[in-house]
Amino acid sequence: MKIALASDHAGYEEKEKLKPLLREIGIDFEDLGTVSEDSVDYPDYAVKVARRVANNEAELGLLVCGSGIGMSIAANKIPGVRAALAWSEESARLARQHNDANVLTIGARTTPAAEIPKIVRAFFLTPFDGGRHSARVAKISELDCDNEPKDR
């Protein structure tokens, strides 16, 4: 599996700590930045990862910022991206199983450091369940500002 990976300045240290874990669980990654703890704008990095995922240049994405919220909001502006902020193993697992989330966002300042590797493992090692969830996920793709999702 190949993923796109990025952080802002607040998530930089945690992003760097996650690289050995990603390698350990067999995930190839492209690091799209940032490259230091110097202040940057998180939307720039969220969009880089989201576009890689939306364009099928990466299977999944991983974003780390201070809270995970800003990255999630920005990534979800890209059509085809379903970014989920996970704060526990269970939330990460459910994001994949039920929502077919394709980008994980993590808050480096809001998530206990010991939980972050567990969250990453759960997200990247959990498949989408499909079944009854497929129609619900399809409705997400149909949404735009002017239309209601189609009844199924």
98 classed as catalytic = yes
- Active site residue: 9, 65, 133, 145, which one? 65
The one catalytic residue among 9, 98, 133, 145: 98
Q: Which of 86, 92, 25, 11 is nearest to 3 (CA)?
A: 25
Report how far residue 141's alpha carbon sits from residue 82's, in angstroms, rounded to the nearest whole number.
9
**How far apart (Å, rounded) are the C-alpha atoms in residues 128 and 115?**
22
- Nearest-angstrom CA–CA distance, 73 and 81: 11
The answer to whether residue 145 is catalytic is no
As annotated, the active-site residues are 65, 98
